Amino acid sequence: MAAPEFRTLDEFEYGSVEQVTPLIRRVIANNPSKFTYHGTGTYLVGHGDVVVIDPGPNLDSHRDALAAALAGERVRAILVTHCHADHSPLAAWMRAEFDAPTFAYGPHPPPDPAMEPPPDASEDDDGASGEPVRIEESTDFDFAPDQAVVDGDVVVSGGGLTMRAVHTPGHTSNHTCWTLDEESTLFSGDHVMGWSTTVVSPPDGDMSAYIDSLRKVAGRGDAVLWPTHGPQRDDASSYVSALVDHRLAREAAVLAQVRAGRTTAPEIVEVLYAGVRAELHKPAARSVWGHLVKLVDDGELVVVGGDLPTLGARFIAT
């Protein structure tokens, strides 16, 4: 079982326009974090008549860089992979500035109160440095696309560009990748990142859906993946297959811990993440929770007392 081999993105300049392929340019926002790597990569596809993918965070420097990069060009479509705050907020400005329609699978669904952790379990912790420990990027609930798409919809056709939607739920329920047929390319958003694994955090994040979506991408035969964060992957099938193996290995480890008598996500984290800094155990618990929910769905576990599989629930093997 091959472990995923992550890659780094070493050479770039914030705000500059980099021609990464004959049809694709990239502008990286200055919003680095443990979730965004060096920052959000906004892609400009085509020349003259341009498609923009993931306009990015509401950051003045990034907005100005995109305005300069697109000067004299027409934006024909704005494609959004999902509604986290490092991906979609600048879509509103771009839509108004360039009179261009936005496309996405749909808005981010409202939270499920029954599954949401209580405030003391979901709010940010102070780490050893006194800085907040965030679970993932915040959600842009204000974004709603002009045109909602479904899997397989062709959103751009003509002018040398053919692009379609590939629905890949898991990281979020509305996560969607976008193809560029002319270069056998998939813009993979946060579904597949070249530098790291992806956060899959319930209740909207769904580990079962995520693994199914990984298998879907692995079987597509794309030549190159361009994630929103980090470097491209020209080994799409083998790399994504290794990501599937990695998730299934972690799932097996979680199941083994429950069978050994550790019935809650925090108890499992203490063992599986023993070598990870303590202030990161809470975000790790969200990942373990995702696996626990999947194992319940698969019939391997049940929730003690028949309750919902929430973050605070206790689990036992069937």
Q: Quick check: 29 and 84 in contact, CB under 8 A?
A: no
Confidence at residue 134, expressed as pLDDT on a 0 to 100 scale: 53
Q: Quick check: 253 and 302 in contact, CB under 8 A?
A: no
Q: Does 29 reside within a domain?
A: yes
Q: Does 10 reside within a domain?
A: no
Based on the fold, state whether residues 264 and 131 are members of the same structural domain.
Answer: no
Confidence at residue 14, expressed as pLDDT on a 0 to 100 scale: 96
Based on the fold, state whether residues 226 and 266 are members of the same structural domain.
Answer: no
Based on the fold, state whether residues 81 and 216 are members of the same structural domain.
Answer: yes
Based on the fold, state whether residues 68 and 104 are members of the same structural domain.
Answer: yes
> pLDDT, tens digit, for every residue of 248-265?
999 999 999 999 999 999
Kindly tell me if the per-residue pLDDT of 195 is higher than 50. Answer: yes
State the Cα–Cα distance between residues 281 and 286, nearest whole angstrom: 9
| Domain final residue, candidates 193, 209, 235 | 235
Q: Is the pTM of this model over 0.85?
A: yes
Based on the fold, state whether residues 29 and 91 are members of the same structural domain.
Answer: yes
Average pLDDT over residues 113-139: 56
Q: Does 241 reside within a domain?
A: no
Work out whether strand 315-317 and strand 24-28 pair parallel, antiparallel, or are unpaired.
unpaired
Task: Output 196 or 188, whichever has higher pLDDT.
Answer: 188
Confidence at residue 113, expressed as pLDDT on a 0 to 100 scale: 81
CATH number reported for the structural domain that contains residue 264 in this entry: 1.10.10
Nearest to 185 by CA among 215, 222, 220: 222
Kindly tell me if the per-residue pLDDT of 39 is higher than 90. Answer: yes
Q: Does 109 reside within a domain?
A: yes
CATH number reported for the structural domain that contains residue 98 in this entry: 3.60.15.10
State the Cα–Cα distance between residues 140 and 142, nearest whole angstrom: 5
Average pLDDT over residues 299-312: 95
Based on the fold, state whether residues 148 and 295 are members of the same structural domain.
Answer: no
Based on the fold, state whether residues 211 and 305 are members of the same structural domain.
Answer: no
Q: Which domain holds residue 299?
A: 250-317
State the Cα–Cα distance between residues 104 and 77, nearest whole angstrom: 11
| Domain final residue, candidates 235, 259, 277 | 235
| Domain final residue, candidates 185, 205, 235 | 235
State the Cα–Cα distance between residues 108 and 141, nearest whole angstrom: 6
Q: Across all residues in the chain, what is the average pLDDT? A: 92
Q: Does 229 reside within a domain?
A: yes
Based on the fold, state whether residues 194 and 65 are members of the same structural domain.
Answer: yes
Confidence at residue 66, expressed as pLDDT on a 0 to 100 scale: 98
Q: Does 302 reside within a domain?
A: yes
Q: How far is CA 227 from CA 189, 196, 250, in A?
A: 5, 11, 23
Confidence at residue 127, expressed as pLDDT on a 0 to 100 scale: 39
> pLDDT, tens digit, for every residue of 51-86?
999 999 999 999 999 999 999 999 999 999 999 999
Based on the fold, state whether residues 189 and 147 are members of the same structural domain.
Answer: yes
Based on the fold, state whether residues 224 and 311 are members of the same structural domain.
Answer: no
Based on the fold, state whether residues 204 and 296 are members of the same structural domain.
Answer: no
Q: How far is CA 20 from CA 62, 146, 177, 178, in A?
A: 18, 29, 18, 17
Q: Does 295 reside within a domain?
A: yes
Kindly tell me if the per-residue pLDDT of 3 is higher than 90. Answer: no
Q: How many CA atoms lie within 13 A of 31 on its CB side?
A: 23
What percent of the chain clears pLDDT 90, i.e. is strictly above it? 81
Based on the fold, state whether residues 207 and 106 are members of the same structural domain.
Answer: yes
Q: How far is CA 198 from CA 14, 33, 172, 274, in A?
A: 23, 14, 11, 20
Confidence at residue 283, expressed as pLDDT on a 0 to 100 scale: 81
Q: Quick check: 77 and 61 in contact, CB under 8 A?
A: no
Range of weakest confidence among 206-210, 239-243, 278-282: 278-282
Kindly tell me if the per-residue pLDDT of 123 is higher than 70. Answer: no
Position 37 confidence tier, pLDDT thresholds 50, 70, 90: confident
Q: Does 90 reside within a domain?
A: yes
What's the domain count of the chain? 2
State the Cα–Cα distance between residues 78 and 42, nearest whole angstrom: 11
